[in-house]
Chain A
Amino acid sequence: MDQVVLKNVTKAFVTKAFGSVTAVDKINLNIKEGECFSFLGPSGCGKTTTLRLIAGFEDLTDGEIWIGDKPMSIRNKNYYLPPENRGLGMVFQAFAVWPHLNVFENVAFPLRILKMNKNDILEKTNGALKHTNLFGLGKKYPSELSGGQQQRIALARAIITQPKVLLLDEPLSNLDPKLREIMRFEIKDLQRKFKFTIIYVTHDQTEAMALSDRILVMDMGNIQQIDTPINMYKNPVNKFVYGFLGRSNFVKVEISNGKVYPYGTRGKEIKCNIPADFNEETAFLATRPNAIKFTKDGFKTEIKKRVFLTDSMEYRVDIGGQEIRINTITDPGYKVGDTCEVILNDIKWYSTKGDISEKEREARKVI
Chain B
Amino acid sequence: MFFPNRKNNQGVIKFPKFEFTIGNLLFTFSIIILVITIALPMIMIIYNTFFYKLTFNWRMFGNVIFQKENIGAMVNTIKVSLFVTVFGTIIGLFFAWLVGRSDIPLKGIMKNLFTIPYMFPPFIGAMAWQLLLLPRSGYINKFFVSMFGHPIFNINSLAGIVFVEICYYFPFVFIQVSSALERMDPTLEESARIAGAKQMTVIRKITLPLVVPAIASGAMLILISSLSHFGVPAILGFSNNIFTLPTKIYEVIYKSAGSFEGIRQGTALSVLLVIVVVAALALQRRVLKFGHYEIIKGKSMRPMSIKLRGMKAPLLIICILFLFLVVVLPLFIIFGVGCLKAWGLPLVLKNMTLNSFKYVLFASQMARDSIRNSFILSISAATINMLVGTMVAYVIVKVKIKGKGLLELLAVLPYSVPGIVLAIGVILMWSGAFKINLYNTIWIILFAYIGRYMTFSMKSAAASLGQVHNSLEEASRSCGATHLESLIDITLPLIRPGMVASFFLVFLPAMRELTTSLLLYGPFTRTMGVAIYTIHEEGNTVQATALASVAITIIIMGNLILRYITRERRRN
Assess the A113–B294 pair: CB atoms within 8 A: no
Binds B, one of A86-94, A178-186, A214-222, A287-295: A86-94
Separation in Å of the B572 CB from the closest CB of chain A?
A: 19
- The answer to whether B36 has its CB under 8 Å from any CB of chain A is no
For B196, what are the chain A residues with a Cβ–Cβ distance below 8 Å? 84-85, 87, 110, 113-114, 161
Per the 8 Å Cβ criterion, residues 148-172 of A in contact with B are 154, 157-158, 161, 167
Contact of B294 among A83, A84, A89, A143 (CB under 8 A): A143
User: Is B406 in contact with chain A by the CB < 8 A criterion?
Assistant: no
A99 contacts the other chain (Cβ, under 8 Å)? yes
Q: Mark A45-88, 1 if CB is under 8 A from B, else 0.
A: 00000001001110000000000000000000000001111111
Minimum CB–CB distance from A165 to chain B (whole Å) comes to: 11
Question: With a CB–CB cut-off of 8 A, which chain B residues contact A114?
Answer: 196
Q: Cβ of B294: which chain A residues have Cβ within 8 Å of it?
A: 99, 143
**Among A56, A109, A167, contact of B192 (Cβ-Cβ < 8 Å):** A109
Q: Given contacts A57-B304, A84-B198, A94-B185, is CB(A99)–CB(B295) below 8 Å? A: yes
**Interface pair A84/B197, CB less than 8 Å apart:** yes
A230: Cβ under 8 A from any B Cβ: no
User: Which B residues from 186 to 231 make CB contacts under 8 A with A?
Assistant: 187-188, 190-199, 201, 205-206, 209-210, 212
With both beta carbons as reference points, the residue of chain A lying nearest to B197 in the complex is identified as: A113
**Minimum Cβ distance to chain B for residue A120 (Å):** 15
B297 interface contact, C-beta 8 A: yes
Measured between alpha carbons, how far is A89 from B190 in the docked complex, in Å?
11
Q: Are A113 and B293 closer than 8 Å at their CB atoms?
A: no
On chain A, the residues within 8 Å of B68 by CB distance are: none
- Nearest B-chain residue to A43, judged by Cβ: B299
Q: Which residues of chain B have C-beta atoms less than 8 A from A336's C-beta?
A: none
B322 to chain A, nearest CB (A): 28
Give chain B interface residues in 522-541, CB to chain A under 8 Å: none
Which of A83, A94, A99, A157 has a CB less than 8 Å from the CB of B299? Answer: A94
Q: How far is the CB of B15 from chain A (nearest CB, A)?
A: 45
User: Contact: A93 with B304, CB < 8 Å?
Assistant: no
Complex contacts, A87 vs chain B, CB 8 Å: 196
Task: Indicate if B4 sits at the interface (CB-CB under 8 A).
Answer: no
Q: Does B258 interact with chain A (Cβ within 8 Å)? A: no
**Please, which residue of chain B has its CB at the minimum distance from the CB of A49?**
B301
Minimum distance in angstroms from B567 CB to a CB of chain A: 16
Q: Provide the residues of chain A in CB contact with B187, threshold 8 Å.
A: 92-94, 96
A100's contact among B193, B210, B299, by CB below 8 Å, is which?
B210
CA distance A82 to B202 in the complex (A): 13
Residues of A with C-beta under 8 A to B291: 100
B195 close to A110 (CB less than 8 A):
yes
Q: Are A57 and B195 in contact (CB under 8 A)?
A: no
- What CA separation (Å) do A154 and B195 show in the bound complex? 11
Evaluate contact between B298 and A82: CB separation under 8 angstroms. Answer: no
B190/A57 in contact, CB under 8 A = yes
Least Cβ–Cβ distance between B184 and chain A, in angstroms: 11
Give chain B interface residues in 296-342, CB to chain A under 8 Å.
297-299, 301, 304
Interface residue? A98 (CB, 8 A): yes
Identify which of residues 19-60 in chain A touch chain B, using a CB-to-CB cut-off of 8 Å: 52, 55-57
Asked if A98 and B197 sit within 8 Å, CB to CB, the answer is: no
- Which A residues, 102 to 120, have Cβ-Cβ distances below 8 Å to chain B? 109-110, 113-114
Q: Are B209 and A84 in contact (CB under 8 A)?
A: no
Total residue contacts A-B, CB cutoff 8 A: 81
- In the complex the two chains form, is B191's CB within 8 Å of A90's CB? yes
Q: Closest Cβ of chain A: how far from B233's Cβ, in Å? A: 38
Q: Are B298 and A90 in contact (CB under 8 A)?
A: no
Distance (whole angstroms) from the CB of A141 to the closest CB of chain B: 9
Chain A min CB distance to B330 (Å) = 34
Best-surrounded residue of B196, B201, B206 (most CB of chain A within 10 A): B196
Q: Given the complex of chains A and B, what is the CA–CA distance between A52 and B304 in angstroms?
A: 11
Interface residues on A, range: 20 to 34
CB–CB A89/B194 < 8 A: yes
Cβ of B295: which chain A residues have Cβ within 8 Å of it?
Answer: 99
A55 touches B194 (CB 8 A): yes
- CB of A96 within 8 A of CB of B190, answer yes
CA distance A86 to B198 in the complex (A): 12
Check if A96 sits within 8 Å of B210, measured CB to CB. Answer: no
Per-residue CB proximity of B250-293 to A under 8 Å, as 1/0? 00000000000000000000000000000000000000000101
Q: Are A113 and B191 in contact (CB under 8 A)?
A: no
On chain B, the residues within 8 Å of A88 by CB distance are 194
What is the chain B residue whose CB lies nearest that of A85? B196
Which chain A residue lies CB-closest to B303?
A57
Chain B's closest residue to A109 (CB) is: B195
Q: Shortest distance in angstroms between B446's beta carbon and chain A's nearest beta carbon?
A: 46
Q: Are B201 and A113 in contact (CB under 8 A)?
A: yes
How far apart are the CA atoms of A56 and B192 in the complex, in Å? 13
Please give, as numbers and ranges, the residues of chain B lying within 8 Å of A109 by CB-CB distance: 192, 195, 197, 205
Taking CB atoms, residues of chain B closer than 8 Å to A110 are: 195-196
Tell me whether B190 and A83 are in contact (CB under 8 A). Answer: yes
Contacts of B301 in A (CB 8 A): 52
CB neighbours (8 Å) of A84 from chain B are 193-198
The answer to whether A157 and B298 touch across the interface, beta carbons within 8 angstroms, is: no
Q: How far is the CA of A87 from the CA of B195 in the complex (A)?
A: 8
Nearest to B209 among chain A residues (CB) is A100
Looking across the interface, which residue of chain A has its beta carbon closest to that of B185? Answer: A94
Nearest-CB distance from A111 to chain B (Å)? Answer: 9
Give the residue of A52, A94, A98, A143 whose beta carbon is less than 8 angstroms from that of B298. Answer: A94
- Chain B residues lying within 8 Å of A93, measured Cβ to Cβ, are 187, 298-299
Q: Which residue of A lies closest to B191 (CB)?
A: A96
A92 vs chain B, min Cβ distance (A)? 4
Give CA–CA (A114, B205) in the complex, Å: 14
Closest to A99 in B: B293
Is the beta-carbon distance between B209 and A157 smaller than 8 angstroms? no
Task: Tell me if A100 and B293 are in contact (CB < 8 A).
Answer: yes
Within 8 A of B (CB), among A121-168: 143, 154, 157-158, 161, 167
State the CA gap A109–B206 with chains docked (Å).
Answer: 11
Shortest beta-carbon distance from A43 to chain B in Å: 9
Write out the residue numbers on chain A whose beta carbons fall within 8 Å of the beta carbon of B194: 55, 83-84, 86, 88-90, 158, 167
Per the bound structure, the CA–CA distance linking A87 and B192 in Å amounts to 12
Distance A96 CA – B293 CA, assembled complex (angstroms):
12
Given A57-B190, A83-B190: A96 in contact with B185 (beta carbons within 8 A): yes
What residue in chain B is nearest A110 (Cβ atoms)? Answer: B195
Q: Closest residue to A13 on the B side, CB-wise?
A: B302
Residue in chain A with minimal CB distance to B192: A109
Task: Tell me, in angstroms, the Cα distance from A204 to B278 when the chains sit together.
Answer: 55
Chain A nearest CB from B266 CB (Å) reads 45
Q: Which 10 pairs show the lowest CB-CB distances between chains A and B?
A: A94-B298, A99-B293, A96-B187, A110-B195, A96-B191, A92-B187, A94-B297, A83-B193, A90-B194, A113-B196
A-B CB contact pairs (8 Å), 23 listed: A55-B190, A55-B194, A82-B199, A83-B194, A84-B195, A84-B196, A85-B196, A88-B194, A90-B190, A92-B191, A93-B187, A93-B298, A94-B185, A96-B185, A96-B188, A98-B206, A99-B293, A99-B295, A100-B210, A109-B195, A110-B195, A113-B201, A157-B195
- 10 additional contacts, CB 8 Å, given A82-B199, A83-B190, A94-B185? A56-B193, A84-B193, A87-B196, A96-B190, A98-B206, A98-B210, A109-B192, A109-B205, A110-B195, A158-B194
